[in-house]
Amino acid sequence: MTKLAIIQEAPVFLDKHATIKKAVALVDKAAAQGAQLIVFSEAFIPGYPAWIWRLRPGADFKLSEEIHSRLLDNAVNLKQDELAPLRQAAKKHKVTIVCGIDERDGELSRTTLYNTVVIIGPDGQLLNRHRKLMPTNPERMVWGFGDATGLKVVDTPCGRVGTLLCWESFMPLARYALYAQGIEIYIAPTYDSGDGWIGTMQHIAREAKCWVVGSGYAIKGSDIPEDFPKKAELYPDAQAWVNPGDSVVVAPGGEIVAGPMRNEQGILYADIDSQRTGIAKRALDVTGHYARPDIFQLHVNTQPQSPVKFD
């Protein structure tokens, strides 16, 4: 049995170092309650670019550039090991951490951003980095397209863990690629919310016969800093929920066992047993005895994609 903690808290918006410090404090808090698997939201460090859903495409170009500049300066460069404090917290408490970040490319252009989720093992090592394959709608003006190098399931003391970000969970082939790797705990950090999203989480639990963890993003107007450009116009009500969260934990088969946590910030706990996934697949195993590989086959290109190759 594993104790899971979903951290549904606001970041220190667009402040990388302060948000990492807050994340470490939240790991300390969850670990003190016995959590062994600790999950943050999509783009928790340094925050999801919520403004893209309130700006006018094209018309607010100058404002978009001003805000994007702040995001660029506070995005995480993994090549510079900027998540070291979080890795050290994982090692200190011997916990597995899943965290969404705005990642700044540290290899090629060094200016492209990615919507990334990392898995950190209890030894403090980075087990996986997955970049969102297809940013959604106006997200494409913020993040580049990821490749499939991180489309994998990794072994942890809590079970076999894999991640897809937000609407990647609507991509059946991406889901199938994780199912085929024996996933036991499917983690979906997201900015989405509502009954429809929760229904998707339940569907995946029925389809894959695994645990599904939807880690929601909860933020209010008061969580947006006062010096945010045109805050008074974009977020006039400090008490209004910009996004409600809706973190949820679903057991194999579709039963909700914790949450949804809506219009609330805090930590959602649940006890999960990864061994339940095995017996749950007795009647339905979509990448096993239900797969029909004589008719259907999925090919996944897991090679790193690069616009330049140096010989």
Catalytic residue among 3, 16, 22, 132: 132
- Evaluate if residue 168 carries a pLDDT over 90: yes
- Evaluate if residue 55 carries a pLDDT over 70: yes
Domains of the chain: 2-280 (3.60.110.10)
Report the pLDDT value the prediction gives residue 57, as an integer from 0 to 100. 65
Average pLDDT, integer, range 89-99: 98
Catalytic residue among 166, 168, 184, 281: 166
Catalytic residue among 9, 42, 82, 168: 42
Whether 9 is catalytic is: no
Average pLDDT, integer, range 204-233: 96
- Evaluate if residue 66 carries a pLDDT over 80: yes
Q: Report the share of the chain in percent with pLDDT over 90.
A: 93
Whether 132 is catalytic is: yes
Q: What is the DSSP string of the chain?
A: -EEEEEEE----TT-HHHHHHHHHHHHHHHHHTT-SEEE--TTTBT---GGGGTSPTTTTHHHHHHHHHHHHHHSB-GGGTTTHHHHHHHHHHT-EEEEEEEEEPSSSSS--EEEEEEEE-TTS-EEEEEE-SS--GGGGGT-PPP-GGG---EEETTEEEEE--GGGGG-HHHHHHHHTTT-SEEEEE-S--SHHHHHHHHHHHHHH-SEEEEE--EEEGGGS-TTSTTHHHH---TTSEEEEEEEEEE-TTS-EEEEEEES--EEEEEEE-TTHHHHHTSS--TTTTT--TTT-------SPP-S----
Whether 22 is catalytic is: no
- Evaluate if residue 97 carries a pLDDT over 90: yes
- Evaluate if residue 309 carries a pLDDT over 90: no
- Evaluate if residue 56 carries a pLDDT over 80: no
Q: How confident is the model at residue 48 (pLDDT cuts 50, 70, 90)?
A: very high
Q: Is the pTM higher than 0.85?
A: yes
